[in-house]
Every structure is written in structure tokens, then in C-alpha cells.
Structure 1
Amino acid sequence: MKKTILKLVAVSTLALSLVAITAPQSKASAATTHQVTAGDTLWLIGKKHGVPVKTLMSVNKKSSHLLLVGEKLTIPESLSSADRDLLARLVHAEAKGEPYAGKVAVATVVLNRVDSSLFPNNVKDVIYQNVQGAYAFTPVQNGTINQPADAEAKEAVKEALAYRGMGHKSLYFYNPKTAKSDWIKTRKVTLTIGNHRFAK
């Protein structure tokens, strides 16, 4: 009888240990929440969490930008930290010396490509896309993408994520002074920031 009780206790303890080990993993994939405070806007919340404003509105079933203090918003996961870091490193390498708005626009081009049926559907594959032996982005070709991103590039990625799905739908950018492709110059220019022209 005593041995049976000890076996039951051991089995119960083991079962509880397994539950304790596996429980946090299911919580990790869940969306987080944000409690609205005075001064919050959907734009600021989207930028802080790196989530598109359009997605915030959709997930939280909002038809307007009105927020109430104390309201709890669901914050869905947008990009993994690895993808954010990769995108920030690309922005840092591609737009070094360019205005902040140009850095946001470079990140936006990558996100627009992810959302376009003409390109791969994730950040890593867009950045490392190789067509006929050439990479789409010079920093991948020359290795500067491996340099760490600075704070401004990281902030530009957050802003581009909040802005995702809005704007000019630019899919390309180039420096007209150094671009060797005649084809890129045939694309419709959407805007010019610093030394870069953005096009679709």
C-alpha cells in the first residue's frame, strides 16, 4: 500500500513537472496586449511594437482611430526579432548617409515586396533574393549587410512596420547617379528622398 502511494506521488509529480515545462511555450506564441494611456495614438502604438496600424485596427475591430484611456488593445506579432534585425542591417547598409525618411522608405520597399505577388513572401527571402546570379540588394552582394544596424536604422524599421500597407507602394529604389540598369529607369518614380529615387 505504501509503495503504491509513493508511485502515485512520483507519477503525479512527474506529470506536473512536464506541464510546467511545456506551459510557457504555448503562452510565448500568444499576442500581447497594450493598455491605452493618455497621449497614445494607433500610430505611436504601432511604431512602438512594430505593427502596422491597419493590422492594429483590424485585429481590434476598430473602424476609427479613436482610443479610450484604459482600453486594452491586442498587439499581434508582426515580424520576428531576427527579421527585424536583418531588415535594420539592410537599411543601415543601403541608406547610410541618407535622411531618416529615406531609411524608412528603404525598409518600406522591402515590406512592399513581401506583400507583393511579384516577390518572395518573407523578409529574409526578399533580402537574399538572387536573380540570374545577382542579388537584389548591393549590401548582400558586398557583405555590408553583416554589419550591425545603428539605432536610427532600427527606429526606421519600426516606423516602416507601422506604416505598412499605406503610401506609394514603391517596390524599387536606386541612385540615378550610380544606377547601371536602364530597366530601373523605366519604372514609374513615386518619390525622391536624398540620393534615392523610389519607384514601382
Structure 2
Amino acid sequence: MRKQLLSGLAALGMLAFTTSAVSAEGTHTVKKGESLWEIGKEHSVPVLQLMEVNGLKSHEIHPGQAISLPEAEVSDAEKDLLAKLVEAEAKGESYAGKVAVATVVLNRVDSNEFPDSIKDVIYEVANGHYAFSPVQNGEIDNTPSDESRKAVDEALAFRGQGQGSLFFYNPDTSSSSWITSTDTTLTIGNHVFAK
């Protein structure tokens, strides 16, 4: 029943990773002024995973330090699909709103309540209804902006942190009484994020 009401919604279930696999890329040498956040975005890996693989207790890193890179769990095709969804769902929203929409999808992937891949979350159909309206109306096939692509990279680096939002909706256009009864985690622009 809930799935019927979720057309146009996404999920954000933030969970920490426990894998310690190192990527084929191997290591990254820290440059002056660089942060774990920047390294995570550049390599599409969560900062928490970078910390775990490298046994770091804080975000402190130093120039010249070799950082082991965990395997990226998201393919380029999945990143592209997620950027297309972000563009369709959050066009006209702020950059932070775009990152939050991408984070919702990643949280759904990490949640036991939803499918286990970005593609399956985006194309999920329950009771004859798509979870995201851009899949139904074809906007998912549009080319994403550079900003939407950057928002996906940032959401991937942010993965495992945050308020655990599983849904988002526009209160001005939503007709679902169920979604408005969920616990609001934050509001960004025209979207309310909830769990």
C-alpha cells in the first residue's frame, strides 16, 4: 500500500560500510590542502569507508600520506542513472537539494526495506506504481547537468552519514496523507525529507 503512495519519492537509509576491499586503483597520495571529503568525491567512495580501510580515527590526513582506496561500489552506469534521476527530480532545486535527493536513493539501497541496487531502487514498481515519477513520464532519459553529476559524487562521499531520510516529497503537490505522516528530517527548497 505504501509503495502506491510513493510515486515521486525516494529513500535515504544511511548505513556505514564494513567492507575493507581495496580498489584496483590501490592508493591515493594526499596533496597539500586535500581532505578525505575531496578524495571521497574524486573516487566515488564514502568518507567513512576511507576512514575504516585506513584505520583512521579522525579526518586528519597529511600531504604525502598514502591512502588506500576501497573499491567503488557504484559503477559509472549507476552514477549516470542516479544523476539522471537527480536532474529530473530536483531540477530547479539548490545543489544541497540535489545531493539530498541522491542520498535518498543511496539510503534506499542500504535499507532492508528496498531493493539492493541503484537501478532497482529507481525502477522499482509496487502495485503498478513507479517509486519515481520521472521513470513513468520518461524524464529519466534526459541528460543530467554537471551539477547533478557533482551532487551524485558528493552523495557517494557522504554515504553512511546524515539523518537517515528514506523519502522526499513536495508538500505543495503531494496528495498522499501517508507521506505527510512520516517523520520529517529536514526541508531543502521545495522538498521535505523524511523517514
- Shorter-chain TM-score range: 0.7 to 0.9
Distance in 1 of aligned mates of 2:60 and 2:172: 45
Structure with a larger share of its residues in helix:
1
Counterparts of 1:32 and 1:160, CA distance in 2: 22
Deviation at 1:70, TM superposition (A): 1.0
- Which residue of the other structure, out of 52, 57, 61, is the alignment partner of 2:51? 57
Rounded to whole Å, the distance in 1 between the matches of 2:25 and 2:52 is 14
- TM normalised by structure 2 equals 0.86
Of 31, 34, 39, which residue of structure 1 is paired with 2:33? 39
Task: Give the alignment partner of residue 161 of structure 1, picking from 149, 156, 168.
Answer: 156
What is the DSSP-based 3-state SS (H/G/I as helix, E as strand, rest coil) of the residue aligned with 2:175? coil
For the residue of structure 2 that corresponds to 1:30, the secondary structure is strand
Residue by residue, what CA displacement relative to the aligned partner does 1:38-88 show, whole Å, maximum 9, x if unpaired? 001111111121211000011112112121211111222131000000000
Alignment of 1:112-191 (within 5 A): 112-191=107-186
Counterpart CA distance in 2 for 1:177 and 1:66 is 43
Map 1:72-151 to 2 at 5 A: 72-76=66-70, 77-151=72-146
The alignment partner of 1:109 has SS state of helix
**Residue 70 (structure 1) aligned to one of 40, 64, 67:** 64
Per-residue Cα deviation, 1:109-136 (whole angstroms, up to 9, x for no partner): 0001111111111111111110100010
Segment of structure 1 superposing worse, 64-73 or 111-120: 64-73
Equivalent pairs: percent with the same residue? 59
In structure 2, what is the Cα distance between the partners aligned to 1:168 and 1:144? 28
User: RMSD over aligned Cα, in angstroms?
Assistant: 1.0
Segment drifting more, 104-113 vs 44-53: 44-53
Rounded Cα–Cα distance in structure 1 between residues aligned with 2:105 and 2:26: 25
How far apart, in 1, do the equivalents of 2:147 and 2:62 lie? 31
* Structure 1 unmatched runs, 5+: 1-28
Distance in 2, matches of 1:58 and 1:148, equals 35
Alpha-carbon offset, residue 103 of structure 1: 0.3
Match of 1:192 in 2: 187
Q: Which amino acid aligns with 2:99?
A: V
Shift of 1:102: 0.4
Equivalent AA in structure 1 for residue 183 of structure 2? K
Q: Looking at both structures, which has the greater relative contact order when contacts are Cα pairs under 8 Å and sequence separation is at least 6?
A: 2
